[in-house]
Amino acid sequence: MADSGPGLARALALIADVPDFPEPGILFKDITPLLDDHTAFTTVIEALADAGRDDGGRPVVDKVLGMESRGFILGAPVALTLGVGFVPVRKAGKLPRETYAVSYALEYGEATLEIHRDALAPGDRLLLVDDVLATGGTARATLDLVQKCGASVHGVAMLMELAFLPGRETLGDVPLTTLLTV
Ligand code: AMP
């Protein structure tokens, strides 16, 4: 089981707050100092991977899904740690073969996420991984993509949850693991 004590606290303390990025009023959570520290990076990957294990430490998911693009950085090592495959959920137009697509509302305009149609088998159990749960739009769209594939979600694992936004509610009863709530 992963470190949930001082090692994890030290790792999470490396996340930097950047005010007014990418636009005024947004406090951007910059995870690059954490990624740059091998001990911290390893600690958070182990902690996120625990969301895909049972109480005995055995992996209970068939694949890990990561949402572009920081979900790739975190999700791929989580998949390797659990000993399962990794599936990228990408922004529109990036995947080369046949896809399922889901569009969702942003503050201004809309975004579309895609997954390869053959990436998941019906019945696959999945762990979704990303860095920040904010409005929940990205995670909700990914849950909808999983449903289109006929697969099911074991849980969502995020480095951090912004509790002043309604992200958690958008996930319904899907179990959510977050290492930090701000
Ligand atoms: P949302 O769809 O609103 O839950 O936003 C989630 C996506 O936007 C994640 O992939 C995050 O990487 C990114 N994001 C949202 N808010 C922030 C923030 N304050 N700092 C860093 N990334 C953010």
Q: What is the pLDDT of residues 2-43, one digit of tens each?
A: 888 999 999 999 999 999 999 999 999 999 999 999 999 999
For residue 177 and ligand 1, the question of a CB distance below 6 A is answered with no
The amino acid occupying position 170 is T
Class of domain 56-181: alpha beta
Domain ranges for the chain, please list them. Answer: 56-181
Pairing of strands 85-91, 110-116: antiparallel
C-alpha of residue 111 to centroid of ligand 1, in Å:
13
pLDDT band at 45 (very low <50, low <70, confident <90, very high): very high
CA angle 167, 44, 2 (to 5 degrees): 110
- Which region, left, alpha or beta, applies to residue 145 given φ > 0 means left and ψ of -120 to 50 means alpha? alpha
For residue 146, is pLDDT > 90? yes
The best mutation among 18, 107, 132, 143 to test binding of ligand 1, ranked by most ligand atoms within 8 Å of the C-beta, falls on 132
